[in-house]
Amino acid sequence: MNGFLVLLRKELNGYFLSPVAYATSTFFLAVMGVIFHLLASILAEGVPGVGVMNLLFNSPFYWMTMLVVIPLLTMRLFAEERRMGTLEHLLTAPVTDRAVVAAKFGGVFIFYLLMWMPTLLFLLGLHLYSADRVPLDPGAVAAGYLGVLLSGGFFLAWGLLCSLTTANQIIAAIICFAGMILCFMAGFLDVISYHPVAVTFSELFAPHRNLAEFSRGIVDSRPVVAYVSGTVLLLFASTRMLEARQWK
């Protein structure tokens, strides 16, 4: 446990001292600010039946931002260690491979969580300072951010696995980006085929649809289980790959 905490602290320090992490955070908050500006403009026009959270997470700008942010945050996790030759020293330290993977994932997930926290101030400001006091449903807000954390955890775990496959951070980012695109496109399988398997797969692995449901305050257990199971499976695969590397 002590080894895990030491590694987790090291990962967090690495993010807070990394110019790439600060540039990514700035880009993320700038795009989210633009989204909130557009959201406020739409609400000012008095469009009926439109929810704040639904507008926020159904925006194409949101998904384009995630397709950039996730690869940038995860590309350095193991690729940088391999490039600098410090991965071997890390593997010979008195910590388990599971602790190494968990610390890497925990560090990037905490940083991802901290990136999202300022957006709560955007929502609060929209509620307090709008002329008509835009109503915020606490259930929809909580469910929407739950969906963000679940889907974000899944894609971060995928990015971690991609970073483990190469010593080149750019290649790791490209592989992560390509995998996210494929996952996003899988949500449209039901448009191509009406086969029950295709429809079920599309419903479970359609990030845009799942997040739209979460933003309405609807928490379906199926995508929750799918995201959590997928995250655990990807972290398990990363651990096994790290263990296999030691025997080479």
Taking the C-alpha atoms of residue 160 and residue 136, their distance in angstroms, rounded to an integer, is 35
In the chain, the percentage of residues whose pLDDT exceeds 90 is 12
In which band, very low, low, confident or very high, does the pLDDT at 232 lie, cut at 50, 70 and 90? very high
For the cut 70, the answer to whether the pLDDT of residue 5 exceeds it is: yes
The listed range with the strongest mean pLDDT (10-14, 29-33, 44-48, 102-106) is 102-106
pLDDT at 53: 66
Q: What tens digit of pLDDT does each residue of 120-167 get?
A: 887 777 666 555 555 566 777 788 888 889 888 999 999 999 988 888
Asked if residue 234 lies in contact with residue 153, where contact means CB atoms within 8 angstroms, the answer is: no
Asked if residue 237 lies in contact with residue 154, where contact means CB atoms within 8 angstroms, the answer is: no
User: Among 106-110, 207-211, 225-229, which stretch is predicted with the lowest mean pLDDT?
Assistant: 207-211
User: 220 is in which domain, residue-wise?
Assistant: 2-246
In this structure, what token pair is assigned to residue 199?
Answer: 């429809």
Torsion of the alpha carbons at 38, 43, 49 and 54, rounded to the nearest 10: 40
Three-class HEC string of the chain = CHHHHHHHHHHHHHHHCCHHHHHHHHHHHHHHHHHHHHHHHHHHCCCCCCCHHHHHHCCHHHHHHHHHHHHHHHCCCCHHHHHHCCHHHHHCCCCCHHHHHHHHHHHHHHHHHHHHHHHHHHHHHHHHHCCCCCCCCHHHHHHHHHHHHHHHHHHHHHHHHHHHCCCCHHHHHHHHHHHHHHHHHHCCHHHHCCCHHHHHHHHHCCHHHHHHHHHCCCCCHHHHHHHHHHHHHHHHHHHHHHHHHHCC
- Amino acid residing at 28: F
Q: What tens digit of pLDDT does each residue of 174-200 get?
A: 999 998 888 887 767 766 666 676 667
Q: What tens digit of pLDDT does each residue of 81-119 get?
A: 777 767 666 666 677 878 888 888 998 999 999 888 888
Q: Which has more pLDDT, 55 or 222?
A: 222
pLDDT at 159: 92
* Domains of the chain: total: 1
pLDDT at 136: 65
Taking the C-alpha atoms of residue 201 and residue 110, their distance in angstroms, rounded to an integer, is 29
pLDDT at 131: 55
Q: Which of 73, 74, 70, 69 is nearest to 164 (CA)?
A: 74
Q: What's the pTM? A: 0.85
In which band, very low, low, confident or very high, does the pLDDT at 212 lie, cut at 50, 70 and 90? confident
